[in-house]
Structure 1
Amino acid sequence: MDIASGVLDWLRRVPLLAALPLVTACGSAGNGQIPPSALIGSAFEAGARASVDGKPVEFSTIAIGDLAVPSGRMVVCDPFACEPGIPFTRQVPTGRFPVQLAVTRTPSGEQRVAYARILFSDRRAVRWEMALPPGESLDGSQTDYAFGFPVETGTGSFMDAAVQGPYLAAAADRNTKQQLIAALNERQTSGVTWLVGPFGPGSVAMFSTGFGDGYYISYFGLDGTGRIVSLTADLGVIERPRR
């Protein structure tokens, strides 16, 4: 079975709505060496709370499915405006791993995805490191830059670099792309959308991003020995402190 046929076969098994445009909004993380939010790990814990605009908000976690990671070379991008991306320098474990969304309701009553993560281990992250492409460093010599991914369709995604080619080839077909958008919109709770589907040797996990369009930063969570336990995208819902 070829790639396109395989994707279409999977889509036929997913209940679809008519293709709907994704809701988007403006937002930007700006430049600068931005440390992760203090809530980047704890937002996924039971009973997690934060303050937004001086008002308390609570988090809930949605488990959206397992991501198949065949090579360990991860790419985070907007799945509907994604050029072939350069994977991060650090490699992650290979296998199948749960993807989770930390969702909060804003003071205005809207439900938003604050963080999205792949959990590679149940070991606790004790420090965080900005996910960087090859040739870039935040060792103190480049403190005027933040590295992340732009979003133009209100949607982000996790995928292995080995999955990029099959996914982009399938999404280049207009009908397949529209069916993906419809399937994504079908998987939603109070405006929060997600979808995990197979492509080539692995899979792609898609999710709605914070307040929509913007520039978002990803961080590796490391345990006490420096091993990667998670990859988390901070989607700009909770204000981050700046150095």
Structure 2
Amino acid sequence: MAAPPQDPHAQLHSALASLSGSSPYAVLGVPESATPAAIKARFRELALALHPDRHMGADDPAAVRAKFDRVKTAHDVLTSRTLRALYDRHAVAARSSFRPPPSQTAARPAEPVWFTRFDPDASYDRFSYYAYRPAAPTKPASGWSNRIVSIGVLAFAVAGAAMQYYRYTTGSSLVRAALDAENAENLKVLENVRLRAAQRSAAQFHSELERHIAGNVARRAGRAVPVQKDESVPSPAADASDEEGGGKKGPSHLVY
């Protein structure tokens, strides 16, 4: 069964404890801005120089082994992206002027800074510059932008509806006026026809009819006798011809 992954803070605490509080950059002898390639190259150089196999006959092999282990631990911290970022973050907080000095009872030589009762996150939040930076004032959203957009859309819709209503009512009024004018003209013509018909009496109608019949009989017999027309009362045939023929006079007699 695989062991659960260890917490990065615990890994960093264990590594720094084995380095006796020394900086991994100082152990490898590289600057804090060193690239991963430069760190690996420096580790290979120190590993070749401090490898225990090359110091089998040394007077103190344990000291050489301890130096090699320190170099390897520093290399492991700096080549891990998580551990290096965590160390760089808290190293800045540790060097900050806001960090409280350690108590005299706990000040012992070579004591690691990252002891178990020290919370790096709490130290960073309490004593770093970012904890004292005033927050930018935030303005609550008033919603005016949404209201303006809604009012604009509503006004556009109302204006469009008003224009369509105006066009409809104007067109309907024009059509209705044209129809009313035409109907008025037709009613006027019909009223004139009725008025002229009412002016004739039954006797006048029969006498005019007899004259037309006599004229037709005379024309058939070869004797063209013109029909006398009563000028006082217009005939309905002439009236209808004048109205429908645009001023052209129709026949004033009946043909049988």
TM bin (shorter chain): under 0.3
TM-score of the pair, normalised by structure 2: 0.20
Which one has a larger percent strand, Structure 1 or Structure 2?
A: 1
TM-score of the pair, normalised by structure 1: 0.21
| Structure showing greater relative contact order (alpha-carbon pairs closer than 8 Å, 6 or more residues apart) | 1
